[in-house]
Structure 1
Amino acid sequence: MLRIVVVGAGPAGLVTCKHLLDASSDDFPFDPIVLEQKDEIGGTFRYRSYENANLVSSKQLTCFSDWRMPLDHHDHLSLEEYVDYLKSYAQHFKVLERIKTGCRVTRISRGVNGKGHLVEYIRKSPDGAWGTTVESIMTDYLAICTGLHVIPSIPSIPGIEHVLKKNENNGERKFEATVFHSSEYKLRAQLTGRRVMILGCGETGMDLAYEAAKAKAKQVVLCHRDGFLSFPKVVNDFTLFGMTFKGNLPIDGLITNLFETAYVHPWIAQRRIRWHVSDFVIKRVLWLLTGTQAGCNQWAGELPPERLGRAYVFLNKSHKAMPYINRPYRHRTWLLQLISHYEEDPADMPPNTDFVVDLAPFPSHFLPTGQAVFPVNWRKESKRIQNVEVKPDMIIYATGYTQNFNWFEPGQGYAGVGEQDVREIFKSGDESVAYIGFVRPGVGAIPPIAEMQAMFWIAILTGKGKIPTTPAHYHLLAKKNARITYGVDHGAYMSQLARDIGAAPDIFELYRVHGSHVFWSYVFGAAFVSYYRLLGPFPSPKAPEIARTELWETIVRRGVGGNLFMGLIPMVFYGCVSCTAWTIESVWRLLHMQMPRFS
């Protein structure tokens, strides 16, 4: 038996264990065991969830390739629904019996002569205390699936201790000033009546700003480092020249496969031409429909021009707080509003009051009085906040998480954070240790990426795939000193892994084997994992039916206009661009071969 220890029972750990069980054979008798330090499975989705939290990625994208939600289920699951989905997945594929909960890994070291790995762990007692007896497992392979969102990242802000020391009386009751990380936030009621400062305007920060507004907080200030790019998780209604376009389309399923992720010339991929062209077009369309190019109906908090676009940032799909944020800044003429406008979700619209969620830069420091001091910069919100007194009695760090593999024995060659140079999954020369689920897509979801990574790793271990040597063109563009360097384009990354192991379907073979319905579903569909199980080393008997039904429904839902402007036109344009590149390359190679050589 080939023992494999999977560390973590979140989505990445569950899907990795499941695929290892599927791949087990006489030649490769995989025997996985999952160690989870919590009492239940689900990881971040269970233990860092909060009231009214929903996935911002659609069920079509987030669900695993061969265990889907019902067709009539709404597109975006609550976190409770998603945890239930993970439980049903683990139970159906007999993963639950492989999981040991209440087991905390304390040390991992190399075996004798560097062969295998010794995993040491302790158990939690029934009273919740961690035991002192160290147990161990000798394993052939390791899958680290602890996730990106475990260790809170808390930046230091001078003077924040002055906030902690102050008690403010609002005339009705006395509040104890509190400062905590968003991982500790659970209920909307925690925010009622408070003067709330939220540090960080990612999707969690935006959620908390909306929750604070709905909770009738006295003041809400949302602080960002350098702007954000706001888009709703669902493309809502647009009215143009009196015609309303209704689609209710999850935004993560709008990009088509053909010539955007499949059959893209390497020159085009390397220069991110597709990303830059789509950014140019989208900005103009947004201006026409909403009056601003900063984001979808986003009037403040825009990114600096050199970082505004799909190639640079993670799209913020928590859009509900934007009506409160936009109030002081929205300035569209009545004529443009008559020509076109964006329809807000009525449930997210603020009541007919003057309540505003104030945007601000990160505070530079706090005064002894507990008042926040903000730097002045070119942003309109920076200038506005100088005239607003901000003395919070609650500060929430929505500043994300950091990673630390401190259980690895130092000096034994284990990869540290960001050192997985083979498709972000393992370190060159050490494919016995895989890191699954440690990239984040600009638009997309981590669980399906984790499934694709697991299949890639298993293909390498079983000889179904070879370690790739071609360069990668899926990373989001970032400066060398950027705070987050693990960003990828979802479609480009998924397609690259699929091509590496022969799972990306050849469209002619796809048509021959599965017919026209599945063929057109793949061509116009997005980079869903089920498409990469139609052919290749990990075929699933469920994949063709999923392509013909659920995934086809996402295409039909776009309508004729949507498929024309978001599907066919980009497909033809990018196809011509890649075909031109292939022609130039072919001519250059032909001329190079025929040129005389002189010694």
Structure 2
Amino acid sequence: MKVVIVGAGPSGLVTCKTFLEAANPDFPFEPIILEQEGDIGGTFRYRSYEYSNLVSSKQLTSFSDFRLPLSHPDHLTLQEYVKYLEDYASAFQLKRRIQLNCRVINIRRSSSGPGHIVSFVRRRFLRLGEQEWEETPETISADYVALCAGLHVTPAIPKVQGLEHILDSANHGDSEYPPSVFHSAEYKERSQLTGRRVMILGSGETGMDLAYEAVKAGAKQVVMCSRSGFLSFPKALNDFQIFGIKFESKTPVPIDTLITNLAETAYVHPWVAQSHVRWFISDFVIKRVLWLLTGTQAGCNQWIGELEQKRLGRAYVFLNKSHKAMPYLNRPYRHRKWYLEYLSRYVDPPEDSPPQTNFAIELAPFPTHFLKNGQAVFTPGNRKDYLRISQMDIRPDTVIFATGYTQCFNYLDKESSYPSPHDADVRNITRSGDENLAFIGYVRPGVGAIPPLAEMQAFFWVSLIKGQVKLPLSTPHYHLLTSEDARIKYGVDHSAYASTLANDIEAAPGLLELWWKYGVKVLLCYCFGAAFTPFYRLVGPFQVNSAVGIVRTELWETITRRGILGNIFMGLVPMIFYLTLNLGAYSLSFIWNSVGGLV
């Protein structure tokens, strides 16, 4: 059974490994990976830049059975993560399955059966050391196709009227640098920003990173434009001061390891899941704690760029964990009474080098257009940033689109009526009746990471192919809430999605089962920990012996690192509350069923 996998990033690699390990005489899977670039790593290799880091922790991002040492820092540089992927491919002998420099140009349905015909172009050097290529068209017949090219491939560049005026050198007579307009995919190093007046369109994690990079590069001016705000949190919780006493942590806790499992992810009654009440309650509590500790509810020590209240919370947005630019953004806006500062204060993570004295990154709405003299005109409104920026003359000589990427599947034959990821009604992976083509890695978690979700998706898909998934599936309650005009509609809650897939493939462990097999330590780690993928390899069809050791050491360390108070307030208290909530729902549903109602 030939399985063609498009893309050799993390999603493609883990899908290949999953099929290799799932192969047996009844399902003799033969996976191969077609990668258009000259090496593996995808976005992490080819769309990275200097000083870039993962904002998801190693504990959550690493694959379930290939972990990093406990001594390794929690957050990897992109170069370190590419090395991790190379080591992963070597450890599981995946490299012989990867065909590099093979660009897929067409996938169509086979006329002789339920499979597919994959057409691609193979590139070869004509002469070593010279940039001369020979391209050869080839085809492969495949029983299954996995699309794993990733969300971050084709840049999304919105139209902005008058943008051509930025490129008119006459508008920047005092600048020694030629004007420039480009997408963030083309940014590689700080020298591209040195001495420039930089405008960044977009306030996601890449936009935040670029704003910070511009400051460190010595830019003359930095303006970051936001469509409708953002929700900022550091990737790891830093120190606090309460009544002048500083509470310091030698090893800050990664934010994505803090969501408890029991009763918030595992053992959630369908009524509670459907209502999303656990998300709204946690948002309510977090907002009040943030106000108490930092003086603002908009985000963690976030004084500008706030979302509208109806969209502020875990249920609606992708958490922005690139926090390095926030001190510069806050400077014009952070005003708090001295006695409140004494009562409580969040301490921003220390700089890697001294910041520019009093330099501020200006926040602004998106520009409606640019005048002929290169001046930006911004969307009017009552936002705090507009009231400030509208009084300034902003004429950037460098504009960077940090506007994300768009999904493009031009290689899917139109006459074959293939689905898109939006049509993948079976757990956002495949379409009913069309299960031999899958989208792996095309969901985006609000707080979490795509690679471990891709691993869970691969587990689900291979189980579905082998007939091991019980149908019909339960109603999904893991999608982030969106409006009709939302640009991104493939957001999921990481924990809820991973847990749902684990239940589908019967890999979600029972509490008594964990206690009986592995003891109290593993049971407590499962209850207090986040939705780490190794939890779903303790039992079930993908069980591996190494998972127990990972839970007892690396994942247990994420629990103990919180400290006693942290585990009480961020673990035990919410767990008891949600257990009570779910117990009430189970009791009501039992009564409802007893009187003949339908749940």
Distance of aligned partners of 1:233 and 1:535 in 2 relative to their CA distance in 1, 3 Å threshold:
same
Query: Where does residue 243 of structure 2 map in the other structure?
Result: 241
Instruction: Provide, for residues 513-532 of structure 1, a one-character-per-residue CA deviation record: whole Å limited to 9, x for no partner.
Output: 11111111111110010000
Query: Where does residue 535 of structure 1 map in the other structure?
Result: 539
Query: Where does residue 37 of structure 2 map in the other structure?
Result: 38
Letter paired with 2:233? F
Question: Hey, what's the Cα distance between the residues in 1 that align with 2:573 and 2:430?
Answer: 38
Query: Where does residue 147 of structure 1 map in the other structure?
Result: 150
Question: Hey, what's the Cα distance between the residues in 1 that align with 2:133 and 2:438?
Answer: 27
Question: Hey, what's the Cα distance between the residues in 2 that align with 1:140 and 1:352?
Answer: 58
Question: Hey, what's the Cα distance between the residues in 2 that align with 1:285 and 1:130?
Answer: 59
Question: 1:465-504 alignment to 2 at 5 Å?
Answer: 465-504=469-508
Distance of aligned partners of 1:393 and 1:546 in 2 relative to their CA distance in 1, 3 Å threshold:
same
Aligned residue-pair number: 592
Question: Hey, what's the Cα distance between the residues in 2 that align with 1:170 and 1:289?
Answer: 47
Question: 1:71-86 alignment to 2 at 5 Å?
Answer: 71-86=70-85
Q: CA deviation at 1:125?
A: 2.5
Query: Where does residue 273 of structure 2 map in the other structure?
Result: 269
1:390 is aligned to 2:389: no
Question: Hey, what's the Cα distance between the residues in 1 that align with 2:587 and 2:173?
Answer: 72
Query: Where does residue 216 of structure 2 map in the other structure?
Result: 214
Secondary structure of the 1:134 match is strand
Query: Where does residue 223 of structure 1 map in the other structure?
Result: 225
Question: Hey, what's the Cα distance between the residues in 1 that align with 2:597 and 2:436?
Answer: 42
Instruction: Provide, for residues 485-527 of structure 1, a one-character-per-residue CA deviation record: whole Å limited to 9, x for no partner.
Output: 0000000000011011101111111111111111111111100
Q: CA deviation at 1:244?
A: 3.0
The structure 1 residue matched to 2:548, chosen from 544, 551, 557, is 544
Distance of aligned partners of 1:95 and 1:272 in 2 relative to their CA distance in 1, 3 Å threshold:
same
Question: Contact 1:405–1:417 at 8 Å: present in 2 too?
Answer: no
The structure 2 residue matched to 1:203, chosen from 202, 205, 213, is 205
Q: CA deviation at 1:218?
A: 0.5
Distance of aligned partners of 1:98 and 1:241 in 2 relative to their CA distance in 1, 3 Å threshold:
same
1:591 is aligned to 2:595: yes
Question: Hey, what's the Cα distance between the residues in 2 that align with 1:131 and 1:454?
Answer: 34
Instruction: Provide, for residues 153-185 of structure 1, a one-character-per-residue CA deviation record: whole Å limited to 9, x for no partner.
Output: 0000000011112345575x6221110000000
Secondary structure of the 2:181 match is strand
Letter paired with 2:22? A
Secondary structure of the 1:355 match is coil
Cα RMSD after superposing both structures: 1.4
Letter paired with 1:154? I
Secondary structure of the 1:175 match is coil
Q: CA deviation at 1:349?
A: 8.2
Question: Contact 2:421–2:429 at 8 Å: present in 1 too?
Answer: no
Query: Where does residue 597 of structure 1 map in the other structure?
Result: none
Query: Where does residue 6 of structure 1 map in the other structure?
Result: 5
Distance of aligned partners of 1:112 and 1:233 in 2 relative to their CA distance in 1, 3 Å threshold:
same
Question: Hey, what's the Cα distance between the residues in 1 that align with 2:113 and 2:484?
Answer: 33
Query: Where does residue 156 of structure 1 map in the other structure?
Result: 159
Query: Where does residue 182 of structure 2 map in the other structure?
Result: 180
Question: Contact 1:292–1:298 at 8 Å: present in 2 too?
Answer: yes
Question: Contact 1:167–1:176 at 8 Å: present in 2 too?
Answer: no
Question: 1:407-486 alignment to 2 at 5 Å?
Answer: 407-486=411-490
1:334 is aligned to 2:333: no
1:561 is aligned to 2:565: yes
Instruction: Provide, for residues 52-99 of structure 1, a one-character-per-residue CA deviation record: whole Å limited to 9, x for no partner.
Output: 000000000000000000011000000000000000000000111100
Letter paired with 2:377? V
Question: Hey, what's the Cα distance between the residues in 2 that align with 1:549 and 1:460?
Answer: 32
Q: CA deviation at 1:540?
A: 1.0
Instruction: Provide, for residues 456-503 of structure 1, a one-character-per-residue CA deviation record: whole Å limited to 9, x for no partner.
Output: 001111122234432110000001221000000000000011011101
Instruction: Provide, for residues 261-289 of structure 1, a one-character-per-residue CA deviation record: whole Å limited to 9, x for no partner.
Output: 00001111111111100000000000010
Letter paired with 1:219? Q
Q: CA deviation at 1:131?
A: 4.5
Per mean C-alpha deviation after superposition, the further-off stretch among 517-526 and 411-420 is: 411-420
Secondary structure of the 1:347 match is coil
Structure 1: where are the runs of 5+ without partners? 595-599
The structure 2 residue matched to 1:578, chosen from 576, 579, 582, is 582
Question: Hey, what's the Cα distance between the residues in 1 that align with 2:38 and 2:597?
Answer: 64
Question: Hey, what's the Cα distance between the residues in 1 that align with 2:132 and 2:317?
Answer: 41
Query: Where does residue 102 of structure 2 map in the other structure?
Result: 103
Letter paired with 1:333? K
Question: Hey, what's the Cα distance between the residues in 2 that align with 1:539 and 1:129?
Answer: 48
Letter paired with 1:138? S
Question: Hey, what's the Cα distance between the residues in 2 that align with 1:84 and 1:352?
Answer: 33
Letter paired with 1:203? E
Question: Contact 1:9–1:99 at 8 Å: present in 2 too?
Answer: yes
Secondary structure of the 2:400 match is strand
Letter paired with 2:242? L
Query: Where does residue 375 of structure 2 map in the other structure?
Result: 371
Instruction: Provide, for residues 321-357 of structure 1, a one-character-per-residue CA deviation record: whole Å limited to 9, x for no partner.
Output: 0111001100111001001100112216863622110
Q: CA deviation at 1:111?
A: 0.9
Question: Hey, what's the Cα distance between the residues in 2 that align with 1:111 and 1:593?
Answer: 48
1:518 is aligned to 2:518: no
Q: CA deviation at 1:408?
A: 1.1
Letter paired with 2:158? P
Secondary structure of the 1:235 match is coil
Letter paired with 1:379? R
Secondary structure of the 1:107 match is strand
Question: Contact 1:122–1:131 at 8 Å: present in 2 too?
Answer: no
Q: CA deviation at 1:445?
A: 0.3
Question: Hey, what's the Cα distance between the residues in 1 that align with 2:85 and 2:572?
Answer: 35
Question: Hey, what's the Cα distance between the residues in 1 that align with 2:108 and 2:259?
Answer: 43
Q: CA deviation at 1:593?
A: 7.3
Question: Contact 2:44–2:82 at 8 Å: present in 1 too?
Answer: yes
Distance of aligned partners of 1:121 and 1:467 in 2 relative to their CA distance in 1, 3 Å threshold:
farther
Structure 2: where are the runs of 5+ without partners? none
Normalised to the residue count of structure 1, the TM-score between the two structures is 0.97
Secondary structure of the 1:369 match is coil
Normalised to the residue count of structure 2, the TM-score between the two structures is 0.97
Question: Hey, what's the Cα distance between the residues in 2 that align with 1:231 and 1:349?
Answer: 21
Distance of aligned partners of 1:593 and 1:405 in 2 relative to their CA distance in 1, 3 Å threshold:
closer
Query: Where does residue 115 of structure 1 map in the other structure?
Result: 114
Query: Where does residue 355 of structure 2 map in the other structure?
Result: 351
Distance of aligned partners of 1:429 and 1:230 in 2 relative to their CA distance in 1, 3 Å threshold:
same
